[in-house]
Structure 1
Amino acid sequence: MPSPRLAETIAVHASHRPHRIALHFNDRTVTYGQLHELTESLRSQLLELNLPPGSTVCVPAHKTPPTIALLLAVMHGGHVALTPSPGLGGAALERLAHQARVSHLLTATGEGLLTAVPVQADETAAEGFTRPDPARTRLLLTTSGSTGTPKIVPIEAAGFDAFTDWATDEFALSAAETALSYAPLNFDLALLDIWTFLRLGACVVLVDQQRATDAAYLASLAVRHHVTFVQGVPMVYRLLLDHGGSFAAVRHVVLTGDSPAAGLLAPVAAAFPNAAFHNVFGCTETNDSFIHRFDPAAVDGPIPIGRPLPGSEALVLAADGGHLGSAGTGELLVSTPFQTGGYLRQDLNSAAFTRREGRVFYRTGDIVTRTAGGLYYLDGRADWHVKVRGVRTNLQEVENVIAAHPDVAEAVVVPLPDPQAGVRIHAHVTRRPDTGLTGLRLRTYAGRHLPRHAIPSSVHLTDKPLPRTSTGKPDRNLIKQNRMEEIDA
């Protein structure tokens, strides 16, 4: 519940349409009337804690109806909620709680009972961090940069309201919609497929995070609940395709995060025959910033991230820091009506945010190519461009080739230090079920599509899903660390 306007609107839905379904979660159905009652009950329990006005509390982001009601109660009460991944380690959770000056760790049971654990203040740990301002934000998300260091991102209430207005317009959303919400609750995708849909009085189907890789489960949710809106990384669509069937009720398919493999679009288009397809690009700091609507049948090559959203601006910086005025390749800077005012950790802001042409821009760290016609393509992260034996290599291109192999379900490519080559490339690959894929076959395949220096020198094959960060993205740092430990062992 990133803004007071959302809480008020949900209360109105409960009054006018109490029997309309707000949430589906496994076998549980929660109406707007029930969601409001649960929120009010938790709000009453919160009052018993006698929290000072505008307190910051920590609510681990379990993706359940009670947690959603608890977030509504916290923020409706004028407080700020830090929502880390529920799988975050104890030491990291404690560190984030101290940095945000959290007073209590809150959870809600399935029966709607509030559990509150006081957090001992530590001003030393909070030094250099601004205090969250409840007049501007009611929600704090966390994100990890290339170093893996968690950063606390305030989601501005005004920015969220502007975002929901844009999304409602862009996708022609109404209370009749049903969203399949796949991403974790602490991920910024929830701003659209949970909070925006609840503000509309629409229905949200929550994917149980314990069953997120169960293809049959996902497909049954989409079909049984007549889902009309699906947003997710390519893995979501691969899982739905693995189960087979048609999802004719879906009106909008939104691709985000990773680039889809070359062979994915045609079968996805067939499985969603009545859907409009969108590629959306953004990050936690700016929310969505680019969109591209496309016809899967007409795609021949990489899908553009599109053009900036209304009210957004983009700049492309050359290697010398100069602004590219026309077509070219460089680092992407974006400014959106939805973006944060800055991290809680103050010393990070000067490097991440810069004022140009009268606006504050966020340095994404992404390398893009802008065409003469103003269309943007994502080339990869700035730190994905490495030199192997002195040759500049784009790890994103290598990853795309590996992922395009028909026996590959998911793939991540990471650079490893090498005393001779400078950098060598390692591929961590999840193969499709019942395939005989081997590392040799995969490297041979890569050799037919890549120059010699770009062929991974090592391949780890597994039948398990990729390890993921708290925001649902592949955990490249962990994959790299695990491989280095194997080498050192």
Structure 2
Amino acid sequence: MPTTSFCTAFYRQVHDRPDAPAVSWAGDQISYRRLAELVRDTRVALDQLGLDAEVPLCVPAVKSPETVALLIAAFELDRRVLLPPASLGPESLARVCAAVGCADILGADAAGLTVRPSGATGRALPGAGMLLTTSGSTGTPKVVELAPDGVDPFLTWAAGTFDIGPDSRVLNYAPLNFDLCLLDVWTALATGACVVMVDPERAVDGPWLAEFCREQGPTVVQAVPLFFRLVTDAGGRFPGVRDVLLTGDAAPPPLLDRIGRAFPHARLWNVYGCTETNDSFLHRVEPAEVRALGRTPIGRPIDGVEVSVVDADGAEVTGAGVGELVVRTPFRARGYLDAGPNAARWRDGWFRTGDLVRRDAAGLFFLAGRNDDQVKVRGVRTNLKEVEQVMLTHPEVLEAAVLAVPDAEAGNVLHAVVRPRAASDVNGLHLRLHCAAALPRTAIPGVFVLVDDALPRTSTGKVDRNVLRARRERTPSGATEGR
């Protein structure tokens, strides 16, 4: 994200390489000179709005060069910016604006700036910087404050590790609000590379993605396994790519073999991190090693990253073993904006990730799951309990449970089991629309099964998901029981 150091580096590229491509978007190549002109015009327009300089701005992460220019301009004016997902439902957007104190929601397109009230009361939060919502939160996401003293070291590390510079073309597959964009967008623009932006409307169109990559010729590709499934299924082959970064979920061995054939000259890397800490682990992937191990390691800590593994009682696990991963990194955020979650997750710069890891005798780390109810859907961490809570706010719903069903493309897909009120006419479409108003797209269940009987419970009164999973396996996908 933009920092003072980033801006200095960006304008050095504008001065030294004004006609070099900075962003490739929608068939156009936008030069560094043109992007700087967009920043200048946007900065003037933003200044003329006369908004309170100490109240943070909300800029939904609509992918475009104009949004990138708006973010740079806002930072140059020492503005704090909240960057929520473009797909965040209106109810959740209103809540997160209220939590941060954003009075205005800004957008940018070819016609200029747009501004509309958020409905929230503005609250002073002076200073420049970026506020990201946690990638996997649903309902009201937690807000993470990125600090320049964490961002700047990351930009330096990423550029050096993956040789990103003026001859690089870096594919930007992730949404602009993802921490992955620290590499895809901001490292690229700081070093004179070209950012090759993927249209999010075509992000699951495999043949289009394969042809797009053939035409655009990226040299560095960072994406979740879904992207690589799509382009390899489409028969893509990309000999010009020199670095492939796998992130979000572990790629299974058969997919790694396909990636190796599709990107024959690329170094393959598995990168692990989260919004709160950014990248923490790195592993140079060899498909033969992964086949032998049966899974893809997250590797070992990046230089400067400290790690600890703790068991359920908080005792440190030394040597080989399984436990929750706790990390302290030079790339970390300042913490959550809300002080409440900070106490549970942060202490003295150490962050409890909630991820369970296994460390083998050689010191190699592997992901082993989560210690809570979160799963990954298309690379996005999603909390099953919060999805259930959103469904339970529907006036016609008595009970709801969400199951994460493994899926070859998405990692997981969500199946919801819902018991409505007697004689209710609510259906799956109603529930889908209800969820869409409060949840990111990836957190909306793909299947809604409506039942008449009470959901099974464990001895402690919790919904028994094991019973529901067994029932699902006996019931055709998408069926509606008892309705």
Normalising to structure 1: TM-score of the pair?
Answer: 0.78
Shift of 1:470: 11
Pairing 1:16-95 to 2, within 5 Å after superposition? 16-95=16-95
Q: Which amino acid aligns with 1:235?
A: L
2:309 to 313, 316, 330: 316
Secondary structure of 1:297's counterpart equals helix
1:351 and 2:351 aligned: no
Give the equivalent residue in structure 1 for 2:445: 479
Evaluate the alpha carbon distance shift between residue 480 and residue 381 of structure 1 in structure 2; reply closer, same or farther with a 3 A threshold. Answer: farther
Secondary structure of 2:151's counterpart equals helix
Give the equivalent residue in structure 1 for 2:405: 427
Q: Which amino acid aligns with 2:188?
A: F
1:370 and 2:363 aligned: no
Shift of 1:471: 11
Decide whether the 8 Å contact of 1:369 with 1:379 is kept in 2.
yes
> In structure 1, how many angstroms separate the alpha carbons of the residues matched to 2:116 and 2:79?
16
Gaps of 5+ in 1: 386-394, 404-411, 418-422, 433-466
> In structure 2, how many angstroms separate the alpha carbons of the residues matched to 1:233 and 1:307?
20
State, as a whole percentage, how many aligned pairs show the same letter: 39
Decide whether the 8 Å contact of 2:135 with 2:275 is kept in 1.
no
Shift of 1:54: 4.0
Evaluate the alpha carbon distance shift between residue 182 and residue 43 of structure 1 in structure 2; reply closer, same or farther with a 3 A threshold. Answer: same
Shift of 1:367: 0.5
> In structure 2, how many angstroms separate the alpha carbons of the residues matched to 1:473 and 1:373?
40
Bigger shift: 5-14 or 241-250? 5-14
Give the equivalent residue in structure 2 for 1:391: none
Pairing 1:68-217 to 2, within 5 Å after superposition? 68-111=68-111, 113-122=112-121, 132-134=125-127, 137-143=128-134, 148-217=139-208
Decide whether the 8 Å contact of 2:92 with 2:437 is kept in 1.
no
Runs of 4 or more consecutive aligned structure 1 residues displaced over 6 Å after TM superposition:
412-417, 467-473
Report how many residues are paired: 416
1:283 to 246, 250, 274: 274
Shift of 1:336: 0.6
2:300 to 286, 299, 307: 307
1:264 to 255, 272, 287: 255
Shift of 1:299: 1.9
Over residues 159-186 of structure 1, what are the superposed CA-to-partner deviations in whole Å (9 max), with x where a residue is unaligned?
Answer: 1100011111211222110011101111
Give the equivalent residue in structure 1 for 2:212: 221
Gaps of 5+ in 2: 389-400, 411-434, 452-479
Secondary structure of 2:221's counterpart equals strand
Evaluate the alpha carbon distance shift between residue 352 and residue 431 of structure 1 in structure 2; reply closer, same or farther with a 3 A threshold. Answer: closer
Q: State the Cα RMSD in Å.
A: 3.3
Evaluate the alpha carbon distance shift between residue 139 and residue 470 of structure 1 in structure 2; reply closer, same or farther with a 3 A threshold. Answer: farther
Q: Which amino acid aligns with 2:353?
A: T
Give the equivalent residue in structure 2 for 1:335: 328
Shift of 1:321: 1.0
> In structure 1, how many angstroms separate the alpha carbons of the residues matched to 2:409 and 2:368?
25
Evaluate the alpha carbon distance shift between residue 23 and residue 431 of structure 1 in structure 2; reply closer, same or farther with a 3 A threshold. Answer: closer
Evaluate the alpha carbon distance shift between residue 281 and residue 298 of structure 1 in structure 2; reply closer, same or farther with a 3 A threshold. Answer: same
> In structure 2, how many angstroms separate the alpha carbons of the residues matched to 1:362 and 1:346?
14
Over residues 440-481 of structure 1, what are the superposed CA-to-partner deviations in whole Å (9 max), with x where a residue is unaligned?
Answer: xxxxxxxxxxxxxxxxxxxxxxxxxxx999999953xx3399
Q: Which amino acid aligns with 1:116?
A: V
Evaluate the alpha carbon distance shift between residue 144 and residue 299 of structure 1 in structure 2; reply closer, same or farther with a 3 A threshold. Answer: closer
> In structure 2, how many angstroms separate the alpha carbons of the residues matched to 1:235 and 1:472?
18
